[in-house]
Amino acid sequence: MSAMRCEIEPVGTRLIVRIRGELTLLSVPRVRAALLKCLADHPDAIVADLTGVTVIDPAAASVFPSVARQASLWPGVPVLVVAPDPEVARLISTGPGRYPVFPSVEAALTAEPRPRMPSIGETLLPVRGSAHRARELATEACVRWSAPTLIGPAGVVADELVTNAVVHANTMIDLRLTRGRRYLIIGVRDGSAAEPVLPEPSEDPDAPRGLLLVDAMAARWGVLPAPDGKVVWATLRGL
């Protein structure tokens, strides 16, 4: 079996992920992790080059539409798949979502970039006061994008995600708020790979409730790997 390799190459404002080897259900996690880690850098697009891929398990090809759906939720980055092999292209383009497939890297790189979604962000210190600053930025974003009804929920979610990073990661924190097509997207990046765990509801007044609030207010939330840690993201309806 040919070992799966994923090599990342920046080209302008886009990232090319050159994938080589045999695509099987066992190699899917490695491919998925490599693509998702690229999202943390907010490129204009990710180009997944499958020129050197042999698909052993057809079901494994669904990893690319799956990553593309995740990328559309956060941070709104298109995933452009390059598959010169007609059979590989068919497996991807006829799957759920019917994602476009390009015949060459050159064609993908010259495709018209999607306009960047407006966003604001700031790098925060791992101190308690950063949660207050997160609320201020959330308010600023909601006012700027004419979404006053989201000021409260966005402030709570940004506060809780930043507080979680301060308490558990204790690293520098990158907060970004993005105006999506239908959602306000909040992403918090820190330097710890440890994923947050949603606690069980408790009547103990001292029990942690941050993620429970995020889970209740957000349309969706999740965790993505980053090259030097992770990103915890959440989306709020109302734009």
The percent of residues in the chain predicted with pLDDT above 90, rounded, is 70
Cis peptide before 227 (omega within 30 of 0): no
Looking at mean pLDDT, say which of 98-107, 109-118, 127-136, 195-204 comes out highest: 127-136
What domains, with CATH codes, occur in the chain? Answer: 5-109 (3.30.750.24), 119-237 (3.30.565.10)
CA distances from 206 to 161, 167, 191, 211 (A): 18, 15, 26, 14
Choose between 204 and 170: higher pLDDT: 170
Q: Tally Cβ neighbours within 10 Å of residue 194.
A: 11
Give this prediction's pTM: 0.81
Tens digits of residue pLDDT in 65-103: 999 988 888 888 889 999 999 999 998 887 655 678 999
In this prediction, residue 205 carries a pLDDT of 63
In this prediction, residue 92 carries a pLDDT of 86
Nearest by Cα to 196 from 160, 227, 171: 160
Strand partners, 237: 183
CA distances from 184 to 99, 107, 122, 219 (A): 24, 32, 16, 10
Sorted by sequence, the CB contacts under 8 Å of residue 131 that are 6+ apart come out as 159, 160, 162, 163, 166
Whether 230 has a pLDDT exceeding 90, the answer reads yes
In this prediction, residue 206 carries a pLDDT of 61
